[in-house]
Copies of this chain bind each other. A is one copy, B any other.
Amino acid sequence: MAMDPIRVVLFGLGPIGQRIAHTILGKRGIEIVGAVDIDPEKVGRDLGEILGLDRRLGVTVTDDADALLDKIGADVAVIATTSYVRTVYDQVVKCIEAGLDVVSTSEELAYPWVDEPQLAAEIDGLARQYGVTVLATGINPGYFMDTFPLILTALCREVKRIEAVRAIPTGQRRSSFQRKIGTGMKPEEFKAKLERGEITGHVGFRQSVALTAAALGWTLDEIKEYPPEPVIAEREVKTTYTTVKPGQMLGYNAVAEGIIDGEAVIRYKLVMHAGVEEGYEEYLIEGTPTIKVRMSEMLGDWETAHIAVNMIPRVITAQPGLLTMKDMPLPTAVLGDMRIFIT
C-alpha cells in the first residue's frame, strides 16, 4: 500500500500496555511513534529496552504527554493506564484534542454511561467535535461478558435470560493479579481491604451488564454487584505467586446481575481462584432458541492486548463519538496489513 503506516502513541507501559506494544510490533502497516508512562524507572528509556527486546525502537518513553502530542503527528492513541473513567479522562481528552482516535483498555470506559454519565457525555461531545472515535475494549469488559454473549443472541427471536461464567485458574497469572484477588490472604484481611478500598473486585462488571442490556434494548431496574466471596483453601496450594495454606484464600467468586422486575435477566459470574484446575467460559442464552456454549479458557492479559490492537483499524474508520463494542463492526483478528479497512 502507498499509504503511510498507522501511527500509534501508547499511554501506559504496565503489563497490558507492554503486551499491546509487543502485539503492534508483530503487525504490518502500523508503527509506534510515541510512548507515555509516569513511572520514573521507565521515563527516558527506549521502548525496546522496556519491552525486553534486544534492539532499540527509537521511541523514548516520556511523562510529558502534552509535549509529545504537540510535536508528533499520530493517528491513534492506545491508552492502557487506569481502570476508571475519572482517572483516564484527562488522557482521553488530550488525545481527542490532538485529533487522535482512541482505543483504551479502561474497564469503566467500556460502557461509561452506567457510572459516569456526565464524563461520558463530555467525552462523546468532544469526540464528535474533533471528528474522532473513542472505544474501550479488552476481554472483560469488551468481549467475554458483553460482545460474545451478544452475538449468540443474534440467533434468537426472544431472549429471557443471559448467563455467563468465566472460570480462571489464577495460580499461573501474574503476581499483581493474584494479589488483587486475595491469594494467600485471610478472608477477614481481604474483606477489610475491600472495605477500606485498598483492593477492589472486578472492575468493569457493572459495565458489562449495562452494555449487554443496552445492546438488547433492555431497561434494567438495577445492576446488582455482589461483594467478592472468598474461596478458602482446604489443603496447601502452590501458585506462581505464593503458597496458599489451608484457611487462606485461593481467590474469590463474584457475581453481577442485571435486574428487571425482580428477576436477574443477566447474570455474570467470575470464578477466579487457584483451585480452578481448568478454566472455561460458559454461556447460557435462555430464549428461543436456548443456546449453550462452552469455550476453552484464555488467561486474559494477552487477549486484552490482541483485541485492543484488532480494533485499531476499525476505530480509525468508525463514525466519530464515544462508541462501545455494540456499535462497532464485527471484531475479528487483523492478520495482514493493519490498513486493511482504510481506503
- A residues at B contact (CB < 8 Å): 23, 26, 139, 143, 147-148, 150-151, 153-159, 215-218, 287-296, 298, 302-303, 305-307, 309-310, 325-337, 340
Contacts and interface: CB of A to CB of B under 8 A. Distances in A.
5 contacts: A151-B332, A157-B309, A158-B335, A159-B335, A216-B333
Most chain B beta-carbon contacts within 10 A, residue among A305, A335, A337, A340: A335
B148 A307 contact: no
Contacts of A309: 157
Contacts of A26: 157-158
A293 B296 contact: yes
A258 to B, nearest CB: 13
Contacts of A155: 139, 143, 298, 303, 306-307, 333
Given A23-B157, A329-B329, A217 B295 contact: no
Given A153-B332, A157-B333, A216-B333, 6 more contacts: A147-B154, A151-B330, A215-B330, A288-B302, A328-B330, A330-B331
A328 B331 contact: no
A334 B148 contact: no
B158 A154 contact: no
A172 to B, nearest CB: 14
